Amino acid sequence: MYLIGYDIGSSSVKACVVDAQTGKTLSNAFFPKQEAPILSQKAGWAEQDPESWWEYLKSATAEALSAAAGKTGCSVATLRDGLAAIGISYQMHGLVCVDREQRVLRPAIIWCDSRAVPYGNEAMKQLGEDFCLSHLLNSPGNFTASKLAWVKKNEPEIYEKIDKIMLPGDYIAMRLTGTAVTTVSGLSEGMFWDFKNNCVCKELMDYFGFSMDLIPEIRPTFSEQGRVTAAIADELGIKAGIPVTYRAGDQPNNALSLNVFNPGEIASTAGTSGVVYGVNGTVNYDPLSRVNTFAHVNHTAGQTNPAAFPKEEQTRLGVLLCINGTGILNSWMRRNIVPEGCSYEEMNRMADKAPIGSEGLSIIPFGNGAERVMQNRETGCAMAGINFNIHDRSHLVRAAQEGIVFSFKYGIDIMKGMGMNVSKIHAGRANMFLSPLFRNTLAGVTGAVIELYETDGSVGAAKGAGIGAGIYKDNNEAFATLERLQVIEPDLKLQPQYEEAYNRWLNVLRGITTIQFS
């Protein structure tokens, strides 16, 4: 019995095949092999053709099935007959518009498109900050609802033809099954979900003049959401009738991939930008809107379905912190500060020569555009406390890594203020988490245990499909084979030194910006 997982990204579409019995990944594939193009007709615009996602998916499926068959020693036909369920992860916050024949009406407006910001800001003003934060848990901002408002205002002839709006993952599921459905998690990331009333937000829909008919039928995240049609089965080279039993946005899915389901658990990544995604067990929000809050994959408040997982009603919210200036600061150091040819591993050893706190040197890492955690201000990178008599490259490299960690700590403290008891951080062993200094500093300053794993989004989507299909009874069974590679415990003896360095960093941050801190 096999599971297929898809990850519909803006750079590529990934596909994997997982053996449901062993939990082992049999194959991975992605297309295109070069980064997928993003259309930008005007500054701040970012669009992609949903048909291109479908073409990439077909190519990735064929390669993944062939590789999996080769690994198992069976024929591709035998492998296809054993396919039991499909799961989908996707780039968040996009807008796909289709007509009554399920034809795409315009290119998808994707997550990094900024044209809708004024529409979201005006909605926040007219609906009221208190209403938006208490019902939507966020500002309407630049999310899917605001993007649809832009279409309604600027392309009325297209808007009039829209039968259903959907997120990228909803569109792929519709192509597979012919059925247009969505999830509460997806609606929440588009700013359509009212957490107070557990329904599509009527006030927001009325404000923008949207018909409720535009919203597809809502299904639980883990449940049957349609079956592959005969025509699509022929097109993909798989059997008809395979159910789609899971879908989620990439950040909730990344947390699922790391088996992060419970309040107080955190999933983190630290690539070019950094993400801290924590699970909250109560409906709450940051009054300064410095983090985003969405329904997590196992949030079922107001939508219990006996056939879905989990069967009991529960509140599980994903609180998302994104730091733009993460690995990009480390790579800047490599390009401009350390000797040419110095590897990241050598940089880590160099940084380790400097003591905790970099002997008074602090670096603010916000040099990659406006940061939401800074209330959408472009604070810029800052270096403070440089002493020409004691500081060298090792201090600079260490202060850069510490500054990134301290920005994570700053966001985690916001989460704590929302009622989260942060005790454990799950992360993939990649990028900044390859640095022992980075890991030890994060554990030391937060007091959280860090667990490192090897996984990816398409594998998580496949495991999610197994949960939704009832193959696994719960997430613990689905991720029983998830290999924990390393555990980093906070060093309590060093904690005062980390806290002193963090407080000095925080004072520097307060000195360079006029934002409200609490």
The CATH number assigned to the domain holding 180 equals: 3.30.420.40
**Residues present in the chain in total:** 518
Average confidence score pLDDT of the chain: 95
Average pLDDT over residues 474-502: 96
Mean pLDDT, residues 11-21: 96
- The whole-number pLDDT of residue 409 equals 97
Range of the domain at 452: 259-324+413-486
Same domain, 123 and 272: no
Q: Which two tokens stand for residue 466?
A: 């197994």
User: Do 275 and 226 fall into the same domain?
Assistant: no
Tell me which of 74-83, 125-134, 204-213, 230-239 is least confident.
Answer: 74-83
The answer to the question of residue 517 being in a domain is no
Q: Is residue 423 part of a domain?
A: yes
The token duo for 328 is 């990009």
In this structure, is residue 159 part of a structural domain? yes
Do the domain assignments include residue 24? yes
| Among the listed residues 170, 125, 126, the one whose alpha carbon sits nearest the alpha carbon of residue 144 | 170
Same domain, 90 and 180: yes
pLDDT tens string 200-219:
999 999 999 999 999 999 99
pLDDT at 191 over 90: yes
Report yes or no on 459 lying in a domain.
Answer: yes
Cis peptide before 140 (omega within 30 of 0): no
Q: What is the pLDDT of residue 304?
A: 66
Q: Note whether residue 491 is domain-resident.
A: no
Q: Stretch 144-158: mean pLDDT, rounded?
A: 98
CA 296 to each of CA 88, 293, 342, 450: distance values in angstroms, whole numbers, following the listed order: 15, 9, 40, 21
Q: What tokens were used for 268?
A: 């983190």
* Nearest partner of 460 among 265, 260, 323, 162, judged by Cα: 260
Considering only 131-135, 139-143, 489-493, which range has the smallest mean pLDDT?
A: 139-143
Query: What average pLDDT score do residues 155-176 get?
Result: 98
Per DSSP bridges, beta strands 2-8 and 13-19 are: antiparallel
> Final residue of a domain: which of 201, 219, 251?
251
- Of 196, 222, 251, the position where a domain reaches its end is 251
Judge whether residue 129 has pLDDT over 80: yes
Eight-class DSSP state of 132? I
Indicate whether 484 pLDDT > 70.
Answer: yes
Q: What percent of the chain has pLDDT over 90?
A: 89
Boundary residue ending a domain (233, 251, 269): 251
- Tokens matching residue 392: 């060298």
Which residue carries 């022992």 as its tokens?
Answer: 436
- Give residue 170's pLDDT: 98
Query: Do residues 380 and 367 touch, judged by C-beta distance below 8 A?
Result: yes
Q: Domains in the chain: how many in total?
A: 3
Q: What is the model's pLDDT at position 375?
A: 86
Could you tell me if 444 and 491 are in contact, meaning their C-beta atoms sit under 8 angstroms apart?
Answer: yes
123 and 195 co-located in one domain: yes
- Residue 272: its pLDDT value, please? 85
What is the model's pLDDT at position 150?
Answer: 98
3-state helix, strand, coil in the chain (%, to 5): 40, 20, 40
* 394-413 pLDDT per residue, tens: 999 999 999 999 999 999 99
SS3 80: helix
| 453 shares its domain with 505 | no
**Of 281, 269, 277, 264, residue with least CA distance to 423:** 264
Query: In the predicted model, what is the mean pLDDT of residues 311-330?
Result: 92
> Do 131 and 149 fall within a single domain?
yes
User: Are residues 230 and 312 both part of a single domain?
Assistant: no
Q: For residue 394, which phi and psi values (nearest 5 degrees)? A: -60, -40
Judge contact between 150 and 42, C-beta under 8 A: no
Specify the pTM.
0.93
d(C-alpha 475, C-alpha 223), whole Å: 14
190 and 277 both lie in a single domain = no
301 and 199 co-located in one domain: no
310 cis-preceded (ω within 30 degrees of 0): yes
Give Cα 452 distance to the centre of its chain.
18
User: Does 37 share its domain with 142?
Assistant: yes
The confidence band for 502, taking pLDDT boundaries of 50, 70 and 90, is: very high
Q: What is the pLDDT of residue 151?
A: 98
Give the separation between CA 45 and CA 218, rounded to whole angstroms. 29
235 shares its domain with 267: no
pLDDT in tens, 429-452: 999 999 999 999 999 999 999 999
* Structure token pair of residue 305: 């379905």
Residue 164 belongs to some domain of the structure = yes
Do 153 and 202 reside in the same domain of the chain? yes
Band of pLDDT at residue 311, cut at 50, 70 and 90: confident
